[in-house]
Structure 1
């Protein structure tokens, strides 16, 4: 009869399992960014992570379970990247504050995590189960984004017309990223496009600037 595992050994085993799961989820994001949703599979992720099929299936027995866990991971990472201090945009003239606030939101959209989100959104068109997951994911991201925007601009986010303006900004950012990815635009070109769009968005949001 074998001796029961000691607590330190159990902890080591548990930590290795957590480390493997973290590695697989990080790799899943990278596979989505580098290869796109069409090439995304448990096998592709396992190979890229250098994890055996047995260990991979232990954590994620199906592609759908991997996608579900990846969405949770993306939401966690997105929340970790959101601004925590309003001071990052409150100094300077009103126009400067608006530009900085928009740039903060833009940088949230430029992350690998959001690029992976865009790939999953593209794949949801023909996948009802993925669409259901993305709806729940979008609700969580919306809450995170609203908290970040409130931190940046205050209670003006509660005004009904602000929601339409924010949707305009987010749609513009998303469109820029999708087109740039499809065209293979260089970062400098994408940044130049963003600066032009941002200058127009400043006009949309100027009415909400409390410092005017």
Structure 2
């Protein structure tokens, strides 16, 4: 395949992946048909089938691809925090992670989780992907926070933060929950900082 053709193929896949997440977030699993996705991506149905013969393959690739892209964006944003003090870094990183659990990608993922509850094939395909992405998100949080997981309680504190943010993201689905989320995050931030301080002192 020539370089220009490879580039066009890559661009087509990119449009399909972006359109898939957007359709999942806007229309849910049942409404995100391959016809609608192809239309939103601006590609022909034949081109969509050429790259992704099944909807499940397209959706899984879209979620994984955009999760990795969002992780790269988070790392880039966090790279600007290297010169800030630890307290400010903690605040900023928690805010970045909170945003990751309220954006379109998270909404799209929730649509898949709900659909997978009663769709065995989807669940079997989704579970390994979600387990891998969950591990990746945990490692990302550890890196962004600059914490040492070998210290007692740190791993659990990081995971508790991620679980809290996931739950707050769900609460934000039906109504704007930003004020309550901000209050809860402020409270958790104090507890998290205390846990990290205790872990350092335990050495």
- TM category (shorter chain) comes to 0.7 to 0.9
From 68, 74, 77, the counterpart of 2:60: 68
Structure 1 pair 17–86 and aligned structure 2 pair: CA distance change class (3 A)? closer
Per the TM alignment, residue 32 of structure 1 is displaced from its structure 2 partner at its CA by 0.9
- The TM-score with structure 2 as length reference comes to 0.82
| Aligned match of 2:81 | 88
Deviations 1:15-46 (A, max 9, x none): 22221111111100110111112212212211
1:1-212 pair list within 5 angstroms: 10-84=2-76, 85=78, 88=81, 91-92=84-85, 94=87, 96-159=88-151, 161-181=153-173, 183=174, 185-186=175-176, 190-205=177-192, 206-209=194-197
Deviations 1:114-168 (A, max 9, x none): 2222222222111223223332222332333233222233343334533333333
Structure-2 residue corresponding to 1:3? none
Residue of structure 2 in register with 1:4 after alignment: none
Q: Is there any run of 5+ residues in structure 2 with no aligned partner, and where?
A: none
Q: Is the 8 A contact 2:17 2:62 kept in 1?
A: yes
Q: CA separation in 2, counterparts of 1:145 and 1:90?
A: 23
Q: Secondary structure at the match of 2:172?
A: helix
Instruction: Work out whether residues 25 and 107 of structure 2, in 8 Å CA contact, stay in contact via their aligned partners in 1.
Output: yes
Larger gyration radius, structure 1 or structure 2: 1
Aligned-CA RMSD value? 2.6
